[in-house]
Amino acid sequence: MVGLPIFSIILTLLYLSPSALALKSWYTPPGGTPAGSVAGDKVRGVNLGGWFILENWMMPSFLEDEVLKDTYINDEWVYCSVLGKEECLTRLEKHWDSYITEDDFKRFANYSLNTVRIPMGYWSWTDPEEYEPYIQGQLPYLERALNWSSWYGLDVLMDLHGLPGGQNGQDNQGYKGPIEFQANSTNMERAMDALANMTRFVTQDKFDGVVKAIQLTNEPYILEYNPNGMDFSVLADFYVQGYNTVRANEHILSGSNEVMVVIHDAFQPVLNWKYFWSQESMGLNWTNYALDTHIYDAFGGSMYKTYQEHLDTICAQAAAIAEAQTYFPVIVGEFSLGTNTYCVDYQSCFGITLDQMISNITSSYEANLFMRQFWEVQSNVYELGAGWIFWSVHHELAGPWSWTQSAAQNWLPEDPTEKIWPFDQSASSYCLDTSNPIQGDQNMPYFPTYANNYTNIDISTVTRKYYVNETQTIANSSAVTSTGDSTSASSGNTSTTNNSTSATTSPVSGSTRTLSISMAMIGFAVIGAIALLG
């Protein structure tokens, strides 16, 4: 009679993992409660920003060498224009290979994150025109990241961060300049081609459903917000066509739901979007969708605010987020601990060290404590919606904009559910009671008094959720072969696309994974079970 208990214990031990508990469902049934509405069951994630789209303010030293330092590199367009496609490919492949590693995913799991948002430009998914300097070759590295996401229990939100012609005029769309998406119909056609190819690629069987959501684009500017933006009708048409393109091209695994389609709020109040989803010509008949909103308190005169004023700015968002969440999932897809900007003129940061940049914070316990308070008020308020995704994973100098550095400085807790101060969601100011810690002053956190290297974070106990044979492990960890300009997702031919990424090994399917758990782990589980039974 001991066989069944031993077997049960073995199964329990096999599936024990420090990885995060993923959002239970990224699906909102028609007329049902919006996904992410249950307390504690939230999106808790990090953006892999600066990886597939360069942003100069995040990585000044990347642009400091002899070839580049005398040209102002606004964006990836200029970067590749100056270097030429061959040299650009060589350098970006090194960047793609090293900027995001498996150890990053171990840190995510160690800090109980459950989601990564992966921004990519349209040129990764549809062939650049002759006049466009962009290069391709991103897909093997994306495939590797999707494998890591799966192994460490994280869901993926894919984000088409930049559109042909540009949707916001900023470097994060790939080209800093005019907003020209609306200038011609070709841009819309190319955007739909990119969405179709991205959707087909990331929803293949071999990824086992790790991609749970697809965002149609990032931070579009409309006339109501920016005099150079597009008319709202253009954006609405893009959203409708984009939704239909995702639905027409996604592959739904047996027993699974369709992917969530995410749209950005275009910097309008979140409750305004009730209108969009009430109109038959817009989103009335959509299923499984969500709104992305970005909340930063780092621009304009924010640097002159007191600590309490920063906290109150976030408190003031609570009511609208909570109400909107009753109608549709609201994901705060970008936020940070930054209360001012860093390296906006990236050349002004040449030669500066991380120690110098964060010395004003690390030298003051009060400043460190505010960082933890700023994290806590934001996580509390954003979890009144469906959750949050930190921007961004790395910043080489600005600790408050870097998830890894914020974790290393202990501004972020290892357990995102850990709370130090009481929270009152009905209060529009002082919603975080920083004067009355839940467990008293004696339990205030420790903060390093120096710039702690994030590689010091102990990830030795983090193990993969799924175990594969050693050959497969090596293939996924290090062997990525250049595809150059031949990334074939743009052809719309899924089988051809698969060939372009053959250098990486895809994650095994869910059923195969269970059978592929290492025999060593089974042995340890058996020994442990026998020991427990005496």
Residues involved in catalysis: 219, 334
Upstream peptide bond of 392 is cis (omega within 30 degrees of 0): yes
Q: Mapping DSSP to helix (H, G, I), strand (E, B) and coil, where does residue 47 land?
A: strand
What distance in Å separates the CA atoms of residue 510 and residue 464, rounded to the nearest whole number?
Answer: 14
Residue 135 amino acid letter: I
Listed in sequence order, the residues at least 6 apart from 114 whose beta carbon sits closer than 8 Å to its beta carbon are 20, 21, 22, 23, 43, 44, 45, 153, 154, 155
Contacts of 103 (CB under 8 A, 6+ apart): 455, 459
**Encoded tokens for 19:** 């990885």
**In a 10 Å sphere around its CB, with 0-12 CB exposed, 13-18 middle and 19+ buried, how is residue 410 labelled?**
middle
SS3 per-residue string spanning 170-199: CHHHCCCCCCCHHHCHHHHHHHHHHHHHHH
Distance CA 474, CA 469 (A): 9
Residue 415 is given by DSSP the state S
CA dihedral sign, ordered 175, 159, 459, 508: negative
C-alpha 134/C-alpha 175 separation (Å) is 10
Q: How far apart are CA 229 and CA 293, in angstroms?
A: 18
Residue with tokens 């100069």: 56
Q: Which two tokens stand for residue 235?
A: 């954006």
Q: Tell me the HSE value of 376 on the side-chain side, using a 13 A CA sphere.
A: 27
Instruction: For residue 247, give the 3-state DSSP assignment.
Output: helix
Neighbours of 453 (CB within 10 A): 12
Measured distance CA(11)–CA(338) in Å, rounded: 44
Spatial separation of the C-alpha atoms in residues 513 and 409, rounded to whole Å: 36
C-alpha–C-alpha distance, residues 127 and 511, integer Å: 36
Write the DSSP assignment of 199-224 as a string of letters: HHHHTSGGGTT-EEEEES-S---BTT
